[in-house]
Amino acid sequence: LAKTTQPISMDSYEGQEVNITCSHNNIATNDYITWYQQFPSQGPRFIIQGYKTKVTNEVASLFIPADRKSSTLSLPRVSLSDTAVYYCLVDSGSARQLTFGSGTQLTVLP
Amino acid sequence: DTGVSQDPRHKITKRGQNVTFRCDPISEHNRLYWYRQTLGQGPEFLTYFQNEAQLEKSRLLSDRFSAERPKGSFSTLEIQRTEQGDSAMYLCASSSLQGAANYEQYFGPGTRLTVT
């Protein structure tokens, strides 16, 4: 399994765009990049998934460069309620279990 | 609410006692997963069911742990002779064979176990 490295924590202010970068130097050809969000005392929640280039949904954007050795989760105009832990996962699309790292604690300040 | 539910939400038990947790997945989901999460860490995979068949078990799942999913609906996770190291949040997730791929799993709120 490709190992992921992401910052332990980040702070931001309300209304700003937040970019969280994840490194996955050993990503395999069949691997997808997936991001989950977790609030305290709740289970993780799927945010976005991509393979290459850019993916956008109603919540976030995911940027993946051509070499796919890193990816960046972009959260537009964050609010206090976006304070959570964000996990970057790299797994084969056929993997049954999810492999989480330690995640990035994002704190949005007023 | 038709999400994944878990019961109980909190459990305090004494070392050596047995505990059982229940998970009710989203009704049309045929895949069910159990994870364990300790403070400051991401969830760790324990086991996976497709319908009633337990198809994968992590090495984390010692012989004191057993999981079942009778009739392919709800699932139970039992821990026998609990140890203090079993203290953690136990998360259940479910997903569907159709639609989104395996990476989109729907998690329940978890059962927080404290072993004293």
B63 DSSP assignment: T
Q: Are B72 and B95 in contact (CB under 8 A)?
A: no
Residue B103 near chain A (CB below 8 Å): yes
Phi-psi region of A58 (alpha: psi -120 to 50; beta: other; left: phi over 0): alpha
Q: Find the residue in A nearest to B47 (Cα).
A: A97
CA distance readout (Å), A85 to A82, A105, B46: 9, 4, 21
Please answer yes or no on whether B93 and A89 come within 8 Å at the CB atom: no
What is the sign, positive or negative, of the torsion defined by CA atoms of A4, B100, A38, A19? positive
Q: Find the residue in B nearest to A95 (Cα).
A: B102
pLDDT in tens, A1-20: 668 999 999 999 999 999 99
CA distance B68 to B93: 14
pLDDT in tens, B9-63: 999 999 999 999 999 999 988 899 999 999 989 999 999 999 999 998 988 888 9
Neighboring chain B residues of A98 at a CB cutoff of 8 Å: 33, 35, 43, 45, 93, 103, 105
